[in-house]
Amino acid sequence: MLAKSLARLSSGSKIVSPEDDAAGLAVSMRFDAQISRTQAAKNNVSNAISFSQTQDGFLGKVAKALDRMSELAILSQDVTKSDSDRTLYNNEFTTLGAYITNVATKDFNGVSLFTSSALSVTIDSEGATFSMSGLNLGASTYTTATGSNVSTVGGAATALTNVKAAINTLASDRASAGASLSRLQYTSEQLAVLRDNLSAANSRIKDVDVAEESTAYAKYNILVQSGTAMLAQANSVPQAALRLLS
């Protein structure tokens, strides 16, 4: 008992070998596996949050570009401007359109940021998934807007209509991205709480109570020392008898 108590104190675990608590060991092993899977799911969700935040960062810049493009479309309809002036406006308009087209090709660790395909994010230790909506900057609404021009009054009017449609679509896409981000952040927090609770439950099963075990160790140590002293005393009795006989 003294040796087992010492083993518990030195290892920090009250289940030193399976016979100490066979059922407790089985439950603890399952908890250990679930805790590891929960941490892995939390890592997945954290990466998905980073993905969504990167998406929204680009979309915020695209929104500013579209705002400026709509402004240029209005400026090009100024009756006091000549076609030469409109050509200058169109240069900026097409450059901003090219910027949006370029953003549509960006990726995150090799995964396209802007695609129509939804992404399935693993959100718990059992492999359940959450479908994160795809955001496609290559959709026809965007390409129509970026392919417009404001070099003429008529072209500027058409471009304005197209850019306004793109702005509406972008607003909807950013709302979807925000909804997914909010859901993922709640999931991440929930996984953190679950991991902590599982760890606490597992600790109650297998971790040694140091105060209680230290008391037991002191008790067993005293018993061993007392037993040793008694044996020494018992061994001295025959020695005394032999001295009397001699």
* pLDDT exceeds cutoff 70 at 171: yes
Q: Kindly report the CA angle at 151 between 149 and 152, in degrees rounded to 5? A: 110
C-alpha torsion sign, points 171, 177, 179, 181? negative
pLDDT 10s digits, 98-118: 999 999 999 999 999 999 889
Would you say the pTM of this structure is higher than 0.95?
no
> In which element (H, E) is residue 162 found?
helix 153-206
Domains of the chain: 19-207 (1.20.1330.10)
DSSP three-state, residue 127: coil
112 has which bridge partners? 107
- 226 confidence band (pLDDT: 50, 70, 90): confident
By percentage, how much of the chain surpasses pLDDT 70? 82
What is the structure's pLDDT at 221?
72
Residue 41: the pLDDT is 94
| CA quadruple 100, 105, 109, 115: dihedral sign | positive
- Give the pLDDT band of residue 167 (cuts 50, 70, 90): very high
Candidates 197, 209, 196; CA nearest to 13 is: 209
What pLDDT does residue 224 have? 73
Q: Is 25 strand, coil or helix?
A: helix
